Amino acid sequence: MKPDIWKFLLLGVVTSLVSGCASSGPPLPPSLELPRPVTDLRALRKGDKVYLAWTVPTQTTDHQSVRAVGPTLICRSVAATLTDCGTPVGEVAASAGVEKTLPKSRSAATAGTAGFVDRLSLSSAADPRQEFTYAVKVLNGDRRGAGLSNLVREPSAPALPPPGGFQAEITADGVRISWRCPPAPGELAGAQYRLRVYRRLLGTQADTKVAEPDLRNCQGPAVLDQTFEWEKTYDYRAASVLAIAGPDQPEIEIEGDDTPAVRVFAHDVFPPAVPTGLQAVFSGVGQSPFVDLIWSPDIDADLAGYNVYRRESNGVPAKLNSEPVKAPAYRDRSVQSGKQYFYAVSALDVRGNESARSEEANEAVP
C-alpha cells in the first residue's frame, strides 16, 4: 500500500506544477519606462516671450504608470517641421510647475501642468511672417524619451513696445483712456498697428477688451469706456499689437508687453443733465385752479426722476414733491388766485446726484 500512496502524491505534485506553468504564459519583457509623448503642448506669445504649457504624462508607452518622470527638453526651430530636438533651448526639471511661468494676465494653470518661458532675442530685420516651431520631449530618469510632442508655432518678429503716458480717468461720460503717440512704426505691407485696451474688475481674473484703436492715429489719442459699472474698481492696461495679413494666409498677430496698470474707482459724483424746455400753463376755469408743468425729458441712463421747485415773487424756492417725479410733467394744485408763481425743475440720478435747476417758467393765477 505504501508505494501506491507515494505514486499518487507524486502524480499530484507533477500535475500541479504543469498546470501552474501553463497558466503563467511566456515572461513579459521589462518596461522601458518611457513617458508617452505630450499631445497638448500650447504656446502663447506675449511681448518677446513665448509661454509654453503642457500636461505631464502619467503613463508610459507600454501603458504602465510612470514611476519617475525625468526632465523635459524644450525644442525650437525656424523650420516648419521638427523631427529631432537637436540642441534644446531649455530644460525643465520634473518638479517644476507652470504657475510661476504664465503671464500675470492669464489665469492659473491646472494641476499636473508644466511650463517654460522662452525669452527671445529677436532682430528687427527678421521676416515678420517667419515663425518658430516648438515641441517638448519628456524624458525618464535615464534621460531617455519616446519622442517629440505635438508642434506649435509662434511668430518670430519683434513685438511693438507699449505706448508711454497711459492714463485712465473717470469723467461724467465714462472712463477716458489716453496715451502718448508712439514713434511711427515702419511701413509693412499688410500690417496693422493697434492698441488693445483691457479692463479687469478688481478681485477677478477675467479681462474685458475695451477697445482696439489704430495706434497710428495720433489726433488726440484717446478712447472712452462706457461699459463699466459705477461704484466698482477696475484696473486698466494696454498693449501694442502688430497684425500681419498676407494673401491667402491667416493673420499673424503679435501682442506686446502691457503698460503699467492704472486703477480707477468708478465713483459717480456726476449729476444728470439740466432739464430744458420748461413750460407752465394755468388751468382752472369752472374747477379748482392748478398749474401744469411740462419739460423735455432727460435721457441719462441712470435717471431716477425730477424735483420741482416753486417760488413767489421775491421768495425762496421750495421743493413741491416728496418723491422724485418720474415723468417730465407735474400738476401744481396748491395755487391761489391773484398770485404769480415761478417754477424750476432739476434731474436726479439713482445715486442721488442732482443737477442744477432749469431756467424758470412763470405763470399767474387769475
Tell me, what's the pLDDT at 183?
A: 77
Beta-ladder partners of 240: 195
Calculate mean pLDDT across residues 218-247.
90
Q: What's the pLDDT band for 265 if we cut at 50, 70, 90?
A: very high
Calculate mean pLDDT across residues 85-104.
71
Does residue 287 share a domain with residue 256?
no
Does residue 287 share a domain with residue 214?
no
CA distance 114 to 138: 11
Which residues 6+ apart lie within 8 Å of 255 measured at CB? 45, 46, 47, 159, 196, 239, 240, 241
Does residue 96 share a domain with residue 198?
no
CATH number, domain of 253, equals: 2.60.40.10
Residue 287 lies in a domain: yes
Does residue 176 share a domain with residue 102?
no
Tell me, what's the pLDDT at 69?
A: 86
**What are the phi and psi torsion angles at 299 (to 5°)?**
-105, 10
**What are the phi and psi torsion angles at 9 (to 5°)?**
-65, -40
Q: What's the pLDDT band for 17 if we cut at 50, 70, 90?
A: very low
Query: DSSP readout, 261-297?
Result: PEEEE-----PPPPP---EEEEE-TTS--EEEEE-PP
Q: Where are the alpha helices (DSSP H) in the chain?
A: 2-24
Give me the half-sphere count of Cα atoms (radius 13 Å) on the Cβ side of residue 212.
10
Calculate mean pLDDT across residues 108-129.
75
Calculate mean pLDDT across residues 168-179.
95
Is 80's pLDDT higher than 50?
yes
Nearest to 239 by CA among 219, 254, 251: 254
Beta-ladder partners of 309: 319, 344
Query: DSSP readout, 10-53?
Result: HHHHHHHHHHHHHHH-SPPPPP--PBPPPS--EEEEETTEEEEE
Tell me, what's the pLDDT at 352?
A: 93
Tell me, what's the pLDDT at 126?
A: 63
Tell me, what's the pLDDT at 1?
A: 44
Neighbours of 58 (CB within 10 A): 11
Q: What's the pLDDT band for 105 if we cut at 50, 70, 90?
A: very low
**How distant is the alpha carbon of residue 174 from its chain centre?**
19
Task: Judge whether 361 and 280 are in contact, CB under 8 Å.
Answer: yes
Nearest to 135 by CA among 50, 60, 64, 70: 50
**Does the model's pTM come out above 0.85?**
no
Tell me, what's the pLDDT at 186?
A: 66
Does residue 198 share a domain with residue 136?
no
Does residue 306 share a domain with residue 202?
no
Does residue 148 share a domain with residue 175?
no
Which of 155, 180, 214 finishes a domain? 155
Give the number of domains in the chain: 3
Does residue 288 share a domain with residue 236?
no
Does residue 124 share a domain with residue 201?
no
- Least confidently predicted of 10-19, 123-132, 136-145, 194-203: 10-19
Q: What angle do CA 330, 313, 282 make, to 5 degrees?
A: 35
Q: What's the pLDDT band for 241 if we cut at 50, 70, 90?
A: very high
DSSP symbol at 164: S
Residue 115 lies in a domain: yes
Which of 200, 232, 265 finishes a domain? 265
Residue 320 lies in a domain: yes
Beta-ladder partners of 201: 234
Which of 239, 265, 291 finishes a domain? 265
Residue 70 lies in a domain: yes
Residue 6 lies in a domain: no
Does residue 288 share a domain with residue 349?
yes
Q: Burial level of 292, CB count in 10 A (0-12/13-18/19+)?
A: middle
What are the pLDDT digits (tens) for 282-334?
997 778 899 999 999 999 888 999 999 999 998 999 999 999 999 999 999 99
What are the pLDDT digits (tens) for 144-159?
999 999 999 998 888 8
Does residue 133 share a domain with residue 49?
yes
Residue 37 lies in a domain: no
Does residue 229 share a domain with residue 202?
yes
Residue 237 lies in a domain: yes
CA distance 221 to 219: 6
Residue 61 belongs to domain spanning:
42-155
Q: What angle do CA 338, 342, 346 make, to 5 degrees?
A: 150
